[in-house]
Amino acid sequence: MENTVAAKKTNKVLQEDMENIFQNLSAAEKDKLRNSTVLITGCGGFLGYYFMHFFAAFAEELQLKKVIALENFLTGTKDWLDDLIGSNPEVFSLHEFNVITDDVADISGAAEADVVLHLASIASPTFYRIYPIETVDANITGLRRLLDFYAEKSVKAFLFFSSSEIYGDPFPEFIPTKEDYRGNVATIGPRACYDEAKRFGETLCYLFAQKHKMPIGVARPFNNYGPGMNINDKRLPADFAKAIVEGRDLEIFSDGTPTRTFCYISDAITGYLKVMLHGKFDVFNIGMDKPELSVREFAEIFNRKGNEIWGYSGQITFQEPEDKEYLTHNPNRRCPDISKAKQLLDYNPSVHVEDGIARFLEFLHINRGKLV
């Protein structure tokens, strides 16, 4: 179940984040969104939570015609979506939809959509290993069906969510990692279904952009976290947040030395919107370029902030994972070079990881009576 069930507009963290995203878009970017019909797949997931709340918060100001939300609810929830869509049914519509098998032409208003966001995928290693074929199909078959449908239509923005995982485990000389790094990726293994599907998805986007002149933006996310993340997601920030909510020790299933940079969700969504509204095919790393923290250091911040916000008193422990393939092909380091996005998109993430973790835990604390 989603940790953000029935989150209300009174949650100040969410309100502040929505305003921050809006203020960090340029006038030209906002103008491109105006009078749009938006179609968004995978609207019930972590990123969908923030996109949907952003469109809801600024639907009137941006004069959005329609927001058509598609979700198969394989790993997402419906409760907060029902609340959000019910608050503005003239603009928002929700459809249970499988991008792999269902026909977007059957969705009312889909043919008029001129802004398309393809979020539908499974991003948690635990869950994409449970649903490996579905993960491949969402990123390849589902994407291809959307591209075929919109290739000859007047689309002004199409966003595909790739992943930093397309780089695999970069050699040290390629960290921080630029967009032109070709990757060190295993085609066979527990993560291959996700990594290789995202890689081929990028190829599809490139080919359709070439042949049909589609303005496709490809975003490569780097370790997002924050409100909207399901605390049962099984990724690192979710595991730590769940432990704090439940008063358990913070468990690390490695020696704690692998390093990552972490990007707070409002900075991430700002970046994705900028990629989407860039107006032509290109690929961008979206994330935070510093600090690069070890897993242990990341846990220590959760421990401190958990104590401040939740009165948390747990410890950091090191455990052997029950899943013997948990660490197979897990990258040792992950850090983006975001100079391209800074230069071409005026992308400037600003929420430091200490503040972002505090905001995440504060959001959960405000909603603590609704956590399930």
- The full set of domain ranges for the chain reads 12-230+262-292+332-351
Q: What is the pLDDT of residues 85-110, one digit of tens each?
A: 999 999 999 999 999 999 999 999 99
Q: What is the pLDDT of residues 271-316, one digit of tens each?
A: 999 999 999 999 999 999 999 999 999 999 999 999 999 999 999 9
- For 191, the 3-state DSSP assignment is coil
Average pLDDT on 6-22 reads 82
Q: How many CA atoms lie within 13 A of 185 on its CB side?
A: 20
Torsion, Cα of 162, 167, 168, 171 (10° steps)? -170
Please tell me which residue in 49, 128, 194, 347 is annotated as part of the active site.
194
Q: What is the pLDDT of residues 157-212, one digit of tens each?
A: 999 999 999 999 999 999 999 999 999 999 999 999 999 999 999 999 999 999 99
What's the predicted TM-score (pTM) here? 0.94
Asked whether 100 and 71 are in contact (CB, 8 A), the reply is: no
Per-residue DSSP letter, 369: G
- The per-residue pLDDT for 2 is 39
pLDDT for 330 beyond 90: no
12-230+262-292+332-351: CATH number: 3.40.50.720
Instruction: Name beta bridge partners: 317.
Output: 251
Contacts 24+ apart (CB under 8 A), 347-352: 347/270, 347/271, 347/274, 347/284, 347/286, 348/24, 349/263, 349/264, 349/267, 349/268, 349/270, 349/271, 349/287, 349/288, 349/289, 350/267, 351/264, 351/266, 351/267, 351/288
pLDDT grade for 1, boundaries at 50, 70 and 90: very low
Active site residue 347: no
Q: What is the pLDDT of residues 138-167, one digit of tens each?
A: 999 999 999 999 999 999 999 999 999 999
- The per-residue pLDDT for 8 is 44
